[in-house]
Amino acid sequence: MDRDREKSSVQQLAKMTRAVNNESVQVIVRCRPISEKEVDADCTKVVSVYPKRGVIEVENPRAKGDNEKNKIFTYDGVYDWNSTQQSIYDETVRPLVASVLEGYNGCVFAYGQTGTGKTFTMEGEDDDDNRGVIPRAFEQIWSHINRTTGVEFLVSVRYLEIYMEEIR
């Protein structure tokens, strides 16, 4: 892709993010597959994910009547256990990084109980398909910088973990 086309596609992505969603904070839910350990312990799936509606339905195991029906929660986006690292990146993070490259602030924050897939989503695995948000964001940022002339960029990196209310 030549530089002008690349620049206009970055600008388009940044505009898209602001046009499609005027909210400054988006909450996206990703449900991971049930693990072998959970299968061995006879655990079953208790969440249904409806990506098109942006809704998840959580079973109420103690439901006795209509008043205790399953709970429905709506988010800016929901991803089920078949979702790929690439679709999550392209649909939720790439536009944000494009905005950052246009001079806006952006933050991706993974939140969840232990073992829910934060590291998998953010770091991912070594193979190409399973690379997570962080290496994909680096790639997007560096490829933009490499293609841009006449602009000086300053990139700094810090890596923090909040664990038991302490920052490490």
Ligand X SMILES: Nc1ncnc2c1ncn2[C@@H]1O[C@H](COP(=O)(O)OP(=O)(O)OP(=O)(O)O)[C@@H](O)[C@H]1O
- For position 119 contacting ligand X by CB under 6 A, the verdict is yes
Hey, CA dihedral for 115, 120, 125, 128, is it positive or negative?
positive
Q: Which of 9, 60, 73, 115 binds ligand X (CB under 6 A)?
A: 115
In this complex, which beta carbon is closest to ligand X, that of residue 3 or of residue 115? 115
Output 131-139 pairs: Cβ under 8 A, ≥24 positions apart: 131/85, 132/85, 133/85, 133/88, 133/89, 133/93, 133/108, 136/85, 136/86, 136/89, 136/93, 136/94, 137/89, 137/93, 137/97, 137/108
- For position 118 contacting ligand X by CB under 6 A, the verdict is yes
Q: Which of 16, 70, 120, 135 binds ligand X (CB under 6 A)?
A: 120
> What is the contact mask toward ligand X in residues 28 to 47, using x (rule: CB under 6 A)?
----xx-x------------
Binding residues for ligand X, per CB under 6 A?
32-33, 35, 112, 114-120
Q: Which residues are annotated as a binding site for ATP?
A: 112-119
